[in-house]
Each structure stands twice: as structure tokens, then as C-alpha cells.
Structure 1
Amino acid sequence: MRRRAFALAGLLPAVTLAACAADPRELVGQPPRVVFFEADSAELDEPALAILADAARLARRHPEVPVQVRGFAGPAGGAAFNRELSERRAEHVAAEMVKRGVARSRINVVGRGPVPFDAVPIESRRVEIVVGYP
């Protein structure tokens, strides 16, 4: 009886790890998940929430890696306003990731402010979610 208990105890950690661990190669070459916003807004719409849910699922499959949430804004309105707006957008996305089961301690939030190049306006109003950044 003792030998059987030992054998089962030796198998359980391996079974548990195999069932929970995701292949880290899944993260190699993953593009950031990008959420877009309306002008002067940090509100998430339904398409944005779907993208965010996908990013949260990926982050939950890899609990060992950090997550970076990078906010951006357009050039209109001044640097100080856009820095604050980009941070607000990124914090809003991070809070939604936490609601979906990603530990806040894993999330690094960065507000990059206005995009420094001539981008299409919608491209500058975004948050990038990167799972497993270096």
C-alpha cells in the first residue's frame, strides 16, 4: 500500500504541470493585440473588448510571463493632454485584463503620449497589449 501511494504522489505533480503549462513557443512572434479608441476617449467598445478578452486568455495560459500595456494618443490637443489620455487608456485596458483573471502585478502600464509621426488618426488612438515582452 505504501508503494502505491508513493507512485501516485510522484505522478500527480507531473499530471498537474502537464495540464496547466502552455507551450512558451506560442508567444514567439506574437504581434501585440491592438485596441482602438475614439478621439479623446478611453472607453472600450465591443470589438475592443473581444480583442482584450483574447489577450487575457493568452496571458492566463502563460502565467509566468509579464504583460505590457502601451497606450498611445494622437497629436491634436497638446503633449500633456495626450500623455494623460494615453495613460488613462492603458490603465483602463489593464483594469479590464485584471477583471478577466490576469494578475495586476504582472501588468506593466506605459503611457507613450502622442504618436511622433504622421499616422492615420485611428492608428494613433490605440493601446497595444504585449504578452511576454522582453
Structure 2
Amino acid sequence: MNRRWLGMLAMLPLLGACAQLNRDPAAEPVRVVFFTADSDTLDAQAQAVVVESAAVARRLAPVRVNVLGYAGPVGGAAFNRALSEARAQHVADLLRQSGVPADSVFVLGRGEVPFAMAPVESRRVEIRFAAP
């Protein structure tokens, strides 16, 4: 073998490491789905974000998909907790319907967000990817 081939063979472990970096779930951006006030219904734009997120999750498999729901400061704490959980659950259901394994999806309703956030930003669900 000539030197060129030996040099290329020596780089194979590095190429494998680069491929692994490209499928690091933590490197994926957080997907955010927004809701209207007092609603847990996914509109067409939100559904598109969830379906695209499901495609990413399938590509990264195995992956843990954390679905975190939030609600705005209007209403009581119990109402906001239930609303945030319902929002997160609807997103998780669509992820599963879109081919993400059920045991990879974890749902958490966080309730009310800090008052300093804009109301529209507080009515959201975050989809975060993590290593299993």
C-alpha cells in the first residue's frame, strides 16, 4: 500500500466520529409549537412543526423526545398546569401517530411560565431531543 492509502485509512476513525457528531440529538434545535389562549388544539402550522419533528426523531433513532408544555399567567395554577399537560399530550400523540415510538416520548406539563414572558411565547410546547 502506498502512503496515500495509509493516510486515508488512518482517517477512518475520525470520519466515524464526525458521523456520530452529526446525529447528536442535543445538537438539534428545540422545536416550538404555539397555541392560542386557553386552547390545546393544534392548528395546521403547529401540526407541520410536530410532523417535521417526528421525521427528525425517526432519523436520530434511538432518541428521547421530551415534550414540555407551558401555559400563560392568566387563570389559576391548577388550570394552567392542566392546560400545559393537555397541550404537551396532544403534541406527543401526534408525534406517536407520525411514527415516533411511544416509549421514546416523554411528556411534562410545566404549568405557568414566568410573568416576564410575552403571553404568546408562554402558550407553547417545546420539543427537545436527547440521548436515550
8 A Cα contact 2:69 2:126, kept in partner: yes
1:102 corresponds in structure 2 to 100
C-alpha distance in 2, partners of 1:133/1:125? 26
1-structure distance, mates of 2:26, 2:111: 27
Give the structure 1 partner of residue 109 of structure 2. 111
* SS of match in other structure, 2:27: coil
The equivalent residue for 2:88 is 90
CA distance in 1, matches of 2:93, 2:74: 26
Query: Amino acid of the residue matched to residue 86 of structure 2?
Result: R
Aligned pairs for 1:49-60 within 5 A? 49-60=47-58
Q: Which residue of 2 aligns with 1:17?
A: none
TM-score w.r.t. length of structure 2: 0.79
Cα separation, partners in 2 of 1:24 and 1:88, compared to 1, 3 Å: farther
Contact 1:65 1:132 in 2 (8 A): yes
Task: Give the structure 1 partner of residue 14 of structure 2.
Answer: none
Once the two structures are TM-superposed, the CA of residue 28 in structure 1 deviates from its matched residue by: 4.2
In structure 2, what is the equivalent of residue 9 of structure 1? none
Q: Residue 36 of structure 1 contacts residue 126 of structure 1 at CA under 8 Å; is this kept in 2?
A: yes
How many Å separate the matches in 1 of 2:70 and 2:131?
17
- After superposition, the C-alpha distances for 1:100-125 in whole angstroms (9 at most, x for unaligned) are 00011111101000002311111000
Gaps of 5+ in 2: 1-18
Letter in 1 for 2:90: H
Query: Please, which runs of 5 or more residues in structure 1 have no aligned partner?
Result: 1-21
Which segments of structure 1 move beyond 6 Å, counting only runs of 4 or more? none
Give 2:56's aligned amino acid: L
Question: Which residue in 1 is equivalent to 2:121?
Answer: 123
Percentage of pairs with the same residue: 51
- Superposed displacement of residue 24, structure 1: 5.2
SS of aligned partner of 1:112: strand
The amino acid across from 1:25 in the alignment is: N
The CA RMSD measured in Å over matched residues stands at: 1.7
Asked whether the 8 Å contact 2:26–2:131 carries over to 1, the reply is no
